[in-house]
Amino acid sequence: MGANPSDAVHRVVIIGGGFGGLYAAKALRRTPIKVTLLDKRNFHLFQPLLYQVATGGLSPGDIASPIRAILAGHKNIQVLLAEVKDIDPKEQKVTLDDAELTYDTLVVATGVSHDYFGNEHWQKLAPGLKTVEDAREIRRRILFAFEAAEKELDPEKRRAWMTFVLIGGGTTGVELAGALAEIAHKTLKNEFINIDTTQAKILLLQGNDRLLPSYPADLSAEAKISLERLGVTVKTGTRVTDIQEHIVTFKSKDGPPEQIQAQTSLWTAGVKASSMGKVLENCTGVQRDQSGRVLVNPDLTIAKYPNIFVIGDLANFSHGQEESLPGVAPVAMQEGQYVANLIQQRLKGKTLPDFHYVDRGSLAVIGRNSAVIDLGFIRLKGFIAWLIWSFLHIYFLIGFDNRVIIFIQWAWSYLTSKRGDRLITEDR
Amino acid sequence: MGANPSDAVHRVVIIGGGFGGLYAAKALRRTPIKVTLLDKRNFHLFQPLLYQVATGGLSPGDIASPIRAILAGHKNIQVLLAEVKDIDPKEQKVTLDDAELTYDTLVVATGVSHDYFGNEHWQKLAPGLKTVEDAREIRRRILFAFEAAEKELDPEKRRAWMTFVLIGGGTTGVELAGALAEIAHKTLKNEFINIDTTQAKILLLQGNDRLLPSYPADLSAEAKISLERLGVTVKTGTRVTDIQEHIVTFKSKDGPPEQIQAQTSLWTAGVKASSMGKVLENCTGVQRDQSGRVLVNPDLTIAKYPNIFVIGDLANFSHGQEESLPGVAPVAMQEGQYVANLIQQRLKGKTLPDFHYVDRGSLAVIGRNSAVIDLGFIRLKGFIAWLIWSFLHIYFLIGFDNRVIIFIQWAWSYLTSKRGDRLITEDR
């Protein structure tokens, strides 16, 4: 405790067990302070593979690890299953459902949720993909649609059951469209009597002029070609103007409104800050951007409160670069690590230079054996990119057993096009 | 089609995709008839391992396979996701939600559900374990109890969170108690700060004088000793008289009523016939036993209707033996196979001798490396029994990929005491 300027043990409260919060906690595991990590879920979720759960390729348990298990054995870290209701930055207190916690340093890393851009009633009609429950619901809808089509005698209604509209052509939309095409063309191919699953229509609608707008233009073009080769219809420059039960209305830039009958619509478009963004604004007056993300200082603290950090998807960090940092796992990991280092330096009465993100590239997968990768110094596409994508995703999975199992499941499903977890389960 | 006495193709409708229905369908896959398998779920569930899902050792997808995938490629077998509403045995019709099907031969194999012996209101307080949803709910309750105990400051309330009551000491009760003890003593041991999970109290209440009453007495005694060694308190000859929220009341034969404060109660006692039993009674007048199971003829048909078979847990078959056949997977498999053979013989104008069950033994697992096995000619207990139990369960899993993955998960969790799928997920 000698390094602690006051005699009492320094208390760090971290809200959120995603990549940001978890990396901060792990980096503090040998520091003589008391860390409390709060999350409303008991597990860390590897979101980059959530689309695989939504399409039956992996089980929820494969891409999630109990936060407790990840941090087990570190007596200075306590994990609590709790939802934060409020923050009092003057009293340095966090209010939970049923208790209060005091902190010396607070780290807020609660991420983002879907943004329906004011059309919140679309949520039921076109669910988004952020949680395990979302993934199970999307899986249920996709698989049930083929079951219903098999029973449907009316050709028009059958077509509607076999039409899938994905709204939003970022990473999630592209990956989900590729997996859906694989299901229709490979996995289910020989399993039905009345329908030909390869006739399923998969429509990917993208408002922007190109897919994956954060990637270089040639990789966007490659993604489009790959998806079309898999049987996906890609419409860029096209905005959805209305979603009704079974009917989606959309409009390309200069065209008239078009309609398509589809029983299954999925939302893969925007995200907005989780509710802790609003809580922070209310209690600290901090500024937020259009998506509700919190504007942070160059050291990831917020205005007026040098002992409150905001990291990960919830933070808008735009110092020394054209655009704010993207909401991806590597940014959150590096921010979590930085904050832990800064806390350690401050305990010694020192500080650190401003946070600087090291971009190691970005990658997205398209179906079974194609991906696009931009590593800065090299751009890859196709099978080699897919291999690298697979390797990196398995590598960054937390928990060794998960890695082994996922590797085997992948190898198996790659060889056979099978998907092991195709369960239609009901939530009560 | 030459073997078919009439010119039209013989139509077999099978209700239920458990072991009985699935084995019947598979055995008919090369017979020139039309088979329709109906199930309200899209997957076959390997129920003997459901307790592993309820305790986070396996994922639902590991012990379930899509019925479609199992029967894929057989053009004479159609699988439909459907719930049967009614049967008309005179018109030979089955009514679904939204359609009707005619049959020449009907096979009913819809199994059993929980029996609360008239206390149906106990279901919410002490859920049973029959479905994937049940398993997820039990997993949620068990894991949440430890999370709540970690946060609870009141010692009495904390004890109630760490007390688990299992009602019923048959196979499910014994296996669940063993797994729960393993979680408390091994898996979670180093993951909490405020509680010592090895202090959890696990109480197994059994109405009968001994656990596993269908086994030889010495194996029942061995099961009790093994569970007690794992830290489970076993009370035989003890009946539950009341379940309230947080309080279970029970009574041993000559003793006074006792009460225990427990936040988590689980129902591992009786089963009763699924609702198709009642439907069959209403439309055919067939007799049923106390549990609602349908009394079947020696050839598994029912009285008055030689073209209606009832198999598996739903059937009460008691010809040529003291007690009716037990509700276990091998009985259902052999019955399904028999019915398929009989249908094939009948198409040729022949018949078969009465059904005869070949008992190859019974087995139950107790915790991480102990089991009891009665193979008739040999009785085993302990580690060797556990190895055989593991091998047989993996062997009978349907779907090769599941087997490989479960084998690895088991090897891994055996070496580490880890449990990979410890997710608390909410049903909406």
Q: What is the ipTM of this complex?
A: 0.87
pLDDT in tens, B10-59: 999 999 999 999 999 999 999 999 999 999 999 999 888 899 999 998 88
Q: Where are the beta strands (DSSP E) in B40-187?
A: 43-45, 64-66, 77-81, 84-88, 93-96, 100-102, 105-108, 112-114, 163-167
Catalytic residue at B175? yes
Residue given tokens 């699953």 in the structure block: A197
Rounded to the nearest angstrom, the minimum Cα separation between A109 and chain B is 20
Give the pair of three-digit tokens for residue B180.
């729960």
Query: Would you state the pLDDT for residue A428?
Result: 43
Quick one: closest CA in A to B147, which residue? Answer: A81
Task: Give mean pLDDT, residues B380-385.
Answer: 79
Asked if A37 and A18 count as a contact pair (C-beta separation under 8 A), the reply is no
Lowest mean pLDDT of A144-158, A280-294, A395-409, B129-143, name the range.
Answer: A395-409
Task: Give mean pLDDT, residues A292-306.
Answer: 98
Q: B424: which chain A residues are within 8 Å (Cβ-Cβ)?
A: 41-43, 81
Task: Give mean pLDDT, residues A115-137.
Answer: 94
How wide is the angle at C-alpha A176 spanned by C-alphas A172 and A182, nearest 5°? 155
pLDDT in tens, B156-202: 999 999 999 999 999 999 999 999 999 999 999 999 999 999 999 99
Q: Touching check for B418 and chain A: CB below 8 Å?
A: yes
d(CA A104, CA A28): 14
Q: Where are the beta strands (DSSP E) in A311-411?
A: 315-316, 362-365, 371-374, 379-382
**Where is pLDDT greater, at A400 or B372?**
B372
DSSP A236: -
Share of chain A above pLDDT 70, in %: 92
Query: Would you state the pLDDT for residue B106?
Result: 98
Rounded to the nearest angstrom, the minimum Cα separation between B365 and chain A is 23
Given an 8 Å threshold on Cβ–Cβ distance, is A423 in contact with B42?
A: yes
pLDDT in tens, B289-335: 999 999 999 999 999 999 999 999 999 999 988 889 988 888 999 99
Query: Would you state the pLDDT for residue A4?
Result: 41
Which of B401, B409, B415 is the best residue to mutate to test the A interface, defined by the most A CB atoms within 10 Å of its own CB?
B401
CA distances to A44, A78, A275 from A29, in Å: 17, 10, 28
Nearest to A405 among B41, B79, B408 (CB): B408
Q: Which residues of A are catalytic?
A: 175
**Where is pLDDT greater, at B96 or A328?**
B96
**Where is pLDDT greater, at B341 or A98?**
B341
Residue B416 has pLDDT above 90, yes or no: no
Task: Give mean pLDDT, residues B204-226.
Answer: 92
Task: Give mean pLDDT, residues B65-84.
Answer: 93
Q: Touching check for B7 and chain A: CB below 8 Å?
A: no
CA-derived radius of gyration, chain B: 23
Catalytic position from the list B137, B152, B175, B222: B175
Q: B68: which chain A residues are within 8 Å (Cβ-Cβ)?
A: 188, 191-192
Q: Touching check for A213 and chain B: CB below 8 Å?
A: no
Residue B387's pLDDT band, with cuts at 50, 70 and 90, is confident
Q: Which of A4-13, A46-55, A305-314 has the highest mean pLDDT?
A: A305-314
Task: Give mean pLDDT, residues A396-420.
Answer: 67
Q: Touching check for A405 and chain B: CB below 8 Å?
A: yes
Quick one: closest CA in B to A53, which residue? Answer: B61
Rounded to the nearest angstrom, the minimum Cα separation between A73 and chain B is 6
pLDDT in tens, A237-295: 999 999 999 999 999 988 999 999 999 999 999 889 999 999 999 999 999 999 999 99
Task: Give mean pLDDT, residues A14-29.
Answer: 96
Q: A147: which chain B residues are within 8 Å (Cβ-Cβ)?
A: 42, 80-81
Query: Would you state the pLDDT for residue B4?
Result: 41
Q: B72: which chain A residues are within 8 Å (Cβ-Cβ)?
A: 190-191
